[in-house]
Amino acid sequence: MAHLLSAFIFLIFQTLALSKSAHSYGHGAHTCRSYCGNLTVDYPFAIQSGCGHSGYRDLLFCINDVLMLHISSGSYRVLDIDYAYESLTLDDPHMSTCSSIVFGNRGNGFVVERWREPYLNPTADNVFMLLGCTAESPLFQGFPGKHLPCRNVSGMGCEEYYGCPAWNIIGPRKVGSSVYGSGPPECCSVSFEAIKAINLTKLGCQGYSSAYSLAPLRVDGPHGWSYGIRVKYSVDEGDSFCKACEATGGSCGHNVNDFSSLCMCGTWNSSSNCDSVHSASHRRTWSLMDVLTGFLGCIAVWKLSTKLGL
Ligand X SMILES: *[C@@H]1O[C@H](CO)[C@@H](O)[C@H](O)[C@H]1NC(C)=O
Q: Which residues bind ligand X (CB under 6 A)?
A: 37-38, 50, 72-73, 111, 151-152, 157, 159-160, 199, 201-202, 253, 255-256, 262, 264, 268-269
Q: How far is the CB of 233 from ligand X (least distance, A)?
A: 18
> CB under 8 Å, gap of 24 or more: what pairs does 290-296 form?
290/16, 290/20, 293/16, 293/19, 294/16
The angle subtended at Cα 190 by Cα 148 and Cα 206, nearest 5°, is 90
Nearer to ligand X, 37 or 118 (CB): 37
- CA dihedral (104, 106, 109, 114) positive or negative: positive
**Cβ-proximal residue to ligand X, closest one:** 50
We find the least distance from the C-beta atom of residue 108 to ligand X, in angstroms, to be: 9
* CB hemisphere CA count around 232 (13 angstroms): 13
Closest approach, Cβ 43 to ligand X, in A, equals: 13
Comparing CB distances to ligand X, the nearer of 166 and 263 is 263
Q: Decide whether 1 or 179 has the Cβ nearer to ligand X.
A: 179
- Least distance in angstroms from the C-beta of 274 to ligand X: 12
Any idea what DSSP says for residue 219? P
CA 76, 81, 87 angle in degrees (round to 5)? 90
Nearer to ligand X, 54 or 96 (CB): 54
Residue 243 beta carbon to ligand X: minimum distance, rounded to whole angstroms: 19
Nearer to ligand X among residue 235 and residue 252 (C-beta): 252
Smallest gap from Cβ 201 to ligand X, in A, equals 4
Give the pairing type, strands 120-122 and 87-91.
unpaired
CA atoms within 13 A on the CB side of 202: 10
Residue 75 CA to residue 90 CA, distance in Å, equals 9
CB 265 within 8 A of CB 27: yes
The answer to whether the CB of 29 falls within 8 A of the CB of 251 is yes
Give whichever of 232 and 254 is closer to ligand X, judged by the CB atom: 254
